[in-house]
Structure 1
Amino acid sequence: MTREVERTDDGRYVVVDGRRWRTADPALPDDVRARLLHHLGVARSGVRTAGQAGDEAAVAAARARVQLGKTGLGERGEAWWDQSDDARRARWEAALRALDG
């Protein structure tokens, strides 16, 4: 089953099954995007694994890492299009410091 995905005219959102989702910051360097996506995938897997084990503390910790990844990508938090270039860089660098640490 393939979902139809549209982009809004301004490029800020994708629309999947009628629901609008913020896109990642297009200013992200490719290596930064790859690192953040890797962390996000590991965190999502952690949510699933901890949930299956019934470990609520681990679920909360993994969800916090998902939040960091999504914020670093620009998909959550202050909208990337409202941030200066310096603020955008600071956002993804802070997320990576927290995720790599």
Structure 2
Amino acid sequence: MAEPEHTPDGHFVIINGRRWRATDPEIPTEPAARLRSLLMTARRDVGAALRAQDAEAERDARGRVQLAKVALGERGTPWWEQTASQRRQRWQDGLDALDHHGRPNE
């Protein structure tokens, strides 16, 4: 898959003429891959919940999409406005929340 076009400052990618916030480039490879995998699982779960007309499952899946997008730096406080420690804390907190999401008594 070809790398999308980036704005000159690297903060955004251009896809089909639309500007989207880029993933934080400072997230290490392994955590970034885990976050993308969790994001894609949550997106698939949104679709499954919509097909099943299960509002509770849809709400849960959309919440996981939000957690992953924030952890990746694509939503929330822009990653370029955060310190290195804030950026690390953001993606670590996101992974922790997603790893524990939906587990009873945690």
Tell me, yes or no, whether TM beats 0.5.
yes
TM-score, length-scaled by structure 1: 0.93
RMSD over aligned CA atoms reads 1.7
CA distance in 1, matches of 2:25, 2:37: 17
Partner letter of residue 24 of structure 1? T
Matches within 5 A, 1:3-82: 5-82=4-81
1:6 deviates by 2.1
Aligned length: 100
Which stretches of structure 1, 4 residues or more, deviate above 4 A after TM superposition? none
Counterparts of 2:13 and 2:77, CA distance in 1: 17
User: TM-score of the superposition, structure 2-length normalised?
Assistant: 0.89
Give unpaired runs (5+ residues) of structure 1. Answer: none
Structure 1 residue 18 displacement after superposition: 1.9
- 2:5, 2:80 → 1: CA distance? 19
Identity %: 48
